[in-house]
Structure 1
Amino acid sequence: MKIKWTKKIGTSMLVAAMIAVLSACGQSNNADTASGQSGEAKKEPVVLSFMTTWSENDPFTGVYYKNAMAFQEANPDIKLDIETIPYNDYPVKLSTTAAAGKLTDLILMIGGGSTFEQIARSGALMPIDDMMGNWKEDFLPSSKIKEFNVDGKQYGIPGEVSYATVIFYNKKIMKDAGYTEFPKTYEAFKAMVKDLKAKNITPIAYGNKTGSVLLASLLSPLNERISGPDLYAKIKSGEQKFTDPDFMNALKDIKELSDMGAFNVDLNSIDNVQATNLFLSGNAAMYIDGSWGVKQISMDKAADFEVGFAVFPQIEEGKGSMSTMPGATNQGVVLNAKLDETKKAAAEKFLQFMYSEQSYQNIIRSGNMVPANVEAPADIDPLFKEMTGALGDVKEVTPVFDIVMPATVVAATKNGLQGLTTPGGSAPEAVAEELQKELGQ
């Protein structure tokens, strides 16, 4: 009996022990499950859809793509769902997507202008005025980002700025002709042009085959220097006309320069590349183009070719200023008006990163000027750095003609300017009347 009793006790103890172990395991599994369902679980990232042209291997937008990837790496709690659209297809895609009410969370605006303004006024975009405190005025002047402002509301911040008019000049030719510094007034500039021509030197190389170069780099600065920055807005509103003295005087100035032999005779049959080569071969004292022209000049110039840089001179009694430059700002990201608070906070973080001092310095390294006041990195192209220094006093960007005017008016202006600069061609009055007709006022 004793033996049987002992075995029964032993068996009972074994069963009890097994039950205890299983119970403990069950409690452990339940605890793990409860822990997995608690607030300690990994939080899903906020996903921001983004329609853009930025591409890693694109020579123009690669720097923006890389900056965006750096943001992604630094912020694993935010995921960018990027849809890259080819540049030439982007304007149509943007317009159709906006019209259908299917804009992504983040939207690239290549530049300002009528399409952007139309989308902003439709209510599809979110103003970022409540975020602008992230960028101080001395870092990002409001006068340089106003192209992304519509009806007093800021919708985006541009990544870069392109100035439409930079006067590149051959330092040796100028020095040999007796000019140790570039003229500061338009009258002195014209006197220099006449002097150079008298010495059998082509004063200015231009490549206006498409008609757009004279429009952007000569008509636009003349309009600003004569009339100030608001002329185009006044013409579009009907407050002024193309046939009024302000605009007419700019046309007359271009005609005068052409008649005095300021340009190469084939300016309307060669392009920018050919005009640059004309300048770099020493066959012209100056070359006028946008700030982007420095890239080709830097690549193609001879080692001993010395380039100088100047802004368009002041016109006596004009309403404009040498601290203002016609140009365009671009590569700005805007926000969908439908973002909830979580996505808005993530988007604000993205904008802060993309338009920070470090990101702007990366953009400068890629050979582009920026609207922000940041120190140029030491490792950039020396000629590009010299140009940024020469343009350092520019405080305001004013619109270029072809950005703000209707396409039919732009086309007529290109034709008119080619006519003005062709011997025996159009008269300023005839060009102005045609433009007013195209404007429909």
Structure 2
Amino acid sequence: MKTKKWLKMSTALTLAAIMLVVTACGGGSKGNTNEQTGGTEGNNNETVTLSMMHPWTSPNVDNDVYKARIAAFEEKFPNIKIKQDGVAAAQYKTKLFTLATANNLSDVNVVWPGADLEPLVKGNLLMPLNDVMSTWEGLVREDALVGFAANGNQYAIPSKRNFVDIVYYNKEHLATAGYEKFPETYEEFIDLVKKLKEKDITPIALGNKEKWPLQSSYMSTITQRFAGTDFLERVVAGEAKFTDPEFVQAISVIDELTKLEAFNVDANNMDSVQAQDYLIQGKAAIHISSATVDGRIRMSNEAGDKFGIALFPSVPNGKGEANVSAGVAQYGIGIKADLDEKKKAAALEFIKFFAHEDMYMELAKAGILVPVNIELGDDVNPYLKEMYELTNQASAPVFDAIIPTNVAKEFENGLQALTVGRGTPEQVAADIQALLDKK
């Protein structure tokens, strides 16, 4: 094959760097299953069934890749069956931790890094992968692995890299309101919202039925803008509080947008996919969501060029920079601890096959950001390149990757209450600080 050009993107913070390397084709593929196992697939006639719980139920392009990879594994290893338990993303973590409390995890589980991994590690519920980490040496980036590691052990391998706070906007609608590009300051952003309202265009498509969008896609980045990149870590360490003025100001953005009627009226009855459709169909000018949904909004959309991408603007007297996006390595594949030897061997066979260069390649071709160094062809989607360019400056943590799950859930409830005119930013902040203090 002909030589490919190098594409390198990097960020400045731990868990923020992503590199997409385009190198010469040819040579062996890292993590090749036959090489790892000596080509033993099919040698054992006894069927082993592994249970696997995952949140890949929505029609996103990455979910299709994951499920196709599971099917390919079962075809290659006919004596290992994967019994899938697909749980909607909004309910997934609740079910995961409920099962964890009862020591009843599935054999293979999709897990999240940081705060969400901590209770699983403390409960000795996941199997360390240290003995097989050479499988991913040189493939999966160290800065993507660190969120799934604790106490010197590696507990999961990430499937993708995501930025949760991408601003998608309809170029025509913005032009109608007098803006040729997305605003760079908060004052201009609010002015845009008001002018869109004057033109009878819904400013922002919000699908908050699942509650996480305001917490994750909005408040991760808005918190960074007002309070700084390290604010959430300082809160967890007891060096800052949610009641600090900067964080209350950040929450006030949701309150202000609500009072300006910036969101669609059915925001709390609409899920995140429906909100994407709202933007795609031209019913709203802006939608704030993850980098993953660019697959639907632009990459697989014949009218994709109608939409631009941006980051949330700078804010007055903010402690954070405006070129920072909230990102995290996601969908770690972990194995339940204390499996019997046959299930353990089958589960290791599965994770090696699943988190393989081929899978990351398929994700990248589908327009998904990946936390690895991989070999790609010349047909890299230009929208994907644009996404890398937008997010390669620096990264902030995602709210619910740092803050304990029960606190994040309470925050979601408080934010949703604000959107229907109940409560105040100060009260929301006080409530979640009080809950955090109980830990």
TM-score between both structures, scaled by the size of structure 1: 0.68
Residue in structure 1 matched with residue 69 of structure 2 by the alignment: 67
Q: Higher relative contact order at CA 8 Å, sep ≥6: structure 1 or structure 2?
A: 2
Q: Can you list the C-alpha shifts for 1:32-89, whole angstroms capped at 9, x where unaligned?
A: xxxxxxxxxx976999864314799996755335435656777x7x964534334369
Secondary structure in structure 2 of the residue aligned to 1:52: strand
Residue in structure 1 matched with residue 310 of structure 2 by the alignment: 310
Further displaced range: 410-419 or 390-399: 390-399
Q: Report if the CA contact (8 A) 1:124-1:336 is conserved.
A: yes
Q: Counterparts of 1:119 and 1:166 in 2: how far apart (Å)?
A: 30
Residue in structure 2 matched with residue 418 of structure 1 by the alignment: 416
Residue in structure 2 matched with residue 433 of structure 1 by the alignment: 430
Secondary structure in structure 1 of the residue aligned to 2:331: strand
Structure 1 residues 391 and 196 mapped into 2: Cα distance closer, same or farther (>3 Å)? same
> Could you say what the CA RMSD is over the residues aligned between the two structures, in angstroms?
4.6
What is the total number of aligned residue pairs between the two structures?
A: 392
- Letter matched to residue 172 of structure 1: E
Q: Report if the CA contact (8 A) 2:54-2:84 is conserved.
A: yes
Residue in structure 2 matched with residue 217 of structure 1 by the alignment: 217
Q: Counterparts of 2:313 and 2:248 in 1: how far apart (Å)?
A: 19
CA-CA distance at 1:168 after TM superposition: 0.8
Q: Counterparts of 2:273 and 2:347 in 1: how far apart (Å)?
A: 40
Q: Counterparts of 2:104 and 2:268 in 1: how far apart (Å)?
A: 43
Residue in structure 2 matched with residue 399 of structure 1 by the alignment: 398
Q: Counterparts of 1:365 and 1:297 in 2: how far apart (Å)?
A: 16
Q: Counterparts of 2:114 and 2:237 in 1: how far apart (Å)?
A: 16
Gaps of 5+ in 2: 1-41
Residue in structure 1 matched with residue 335 of structure 2 by the alignment: 334
CA-CA distance at 1:396 after TM superposition: 4.4
- Letter matched to residue 147 of structure 2: E
- Letter matched to residue 85 of structure 2: I
Residue in structure 1 matched with residue 263 of structure 2 by the alignment: 263
CA-CA distance at 1:257 after TM superposition: 3.6
Structure 1 residues 283 and 432 mapped into 2: Cα distance closer, same or farther (>3 Å)? same
CA-CA distance at 1:166 after TM superposition: 1.7
CA-CA distance at 1:355 after TM superposition: 2.6
Further displaced range: 382-391 or 214-223: 382-391
Which is higher, the Rg of structure 1 or of structure 2? 1
Q: Counterparts of 2:260 and 2:431 in 1: how far apart (Å)?
A: 25
Q: Report if the CA contact (8 A) 2:311-2:322 is conserved.
A: no
Q: Counterparts of 1:92 and 1:422 in 2: how far apart (Å)?
A: 25
Q: Counterparts of 1:421 and 1:93 in 2: how far apart (Å)?
A: 27
Q: Counterparts of 1:92 and 1:414 in 2: how far apart (Å)?
A: 14
Secondary structure in structure 1 of the residue aligned to 2:174: helix
Q: Counterparts of 2:203 and 2:337 in 1: how far apart (Å)?
A: 50
Secondary structure in structure 2 of the residue aligned to 1:336: coil
Q: Counterparts of 1:233 and 1:56 in 2: how far apart (Å)?
A: 29
Structure 1 residues 297 and 431 mapped into 2: Cα distance closer, same or farther (>3 Å)? same
CA-CA distance at 1:154 after TM superposition: 2.5
CA-CA distance at 1:213 after TM superposition: 2.3
CA-CA distance at 1:156 after TM superposition: 1.3
Q: Counterparts of 1:270 and 1:100 in 2: how far apart (Å)?
A: 33
Q: Can you list the C-alpha shifts for 1:3-59, whole angstroms capped at 9, x where unaligned?
A: xxxxxxxxxxxxxxxxxxxxxxxxxxxxxxxxxxxxxxx976999864314799996
Secondary structure in structure 2 of the residue aligned to 1:253: helix
Q: Counterparts of 1:90 and 1:302 in 2: how far apart (Å)?
A: 32
- Letter matched to residue 67 of structure 1: R
Identity of matched residues, %? 31
CA-CA distance at 1:250 after TM superposition: 0.8
Q: Counterparts of 1:260 and 1:124 in 2: how far apart (Å)?
A: 47
Secondary structure in structure 2 of the residue aligned to 1:157: coil
TM-score between both structures, scaled by the size of structure 2: 0.68
